[in-house]
Structure 1
Amino acid sequence: MTEAQTIEATILRLCAERGPERSICPSEVARALAGPDETRWRLLMHPVRETAFRLAREGRIQVLRKGRPIPPELARGVIRLAIVAAS
């Protein structure tokens, strides 16, 4: 599994575990992948965010800002990620 695939799988797993009513921080994904190595998880933040934006464009997760869904291209600053609720 490539790093990108591992990041994608971790985002989807953590979002699903949290459920559609709650969200995760991208840093939770980076920390889950890097363990206690602070330098490594910080380096993973950009790839995690980029993967999250792709998943949001595909409709698999939502990017949230201040608790509201936003298009990935408008994401700046603090964001959260949530699984898309089944309809």
Structure 2
Amino acid sequence: MNEATLNVLQYYGAGASLIAAFVVSLNLGERITGWAFVLFVTSSIALIGWGFLNDEGQGIGWQNLGLLLVNLIGVWRHLIHPRGRISEKDR
């Protein structure tokens, strides 16, 4: 893999995760938070690619495999099946 492609994966992954985290922190509602998790998913995919295609990035690759699963749960809970969440009243 050439260095330019690795740089795109690395910096896209880092930037997308920062934007997604910022959007989640704003707590703008179920749907917007769900789309932030979609952005997290794309970030994780980019960083998985960067991690395993880069000689020194396997730790980031493995970490983002785990984060990909967490982010897919976020997409499920906020976009696909939002009513499956436990309400504050039920806690």
TM-score using structure 1 length = 0.34
Structure with more strand by fraction: 1
Q: TM-score, normalised by structure 2?
A: 0.33
Find the structure with the greater CA-based Rg.
2
| Greater per-residue helix proportion | 2
Higher relative CO (CA 8 A, sep ≥ 6), structure 1 or 2? 1
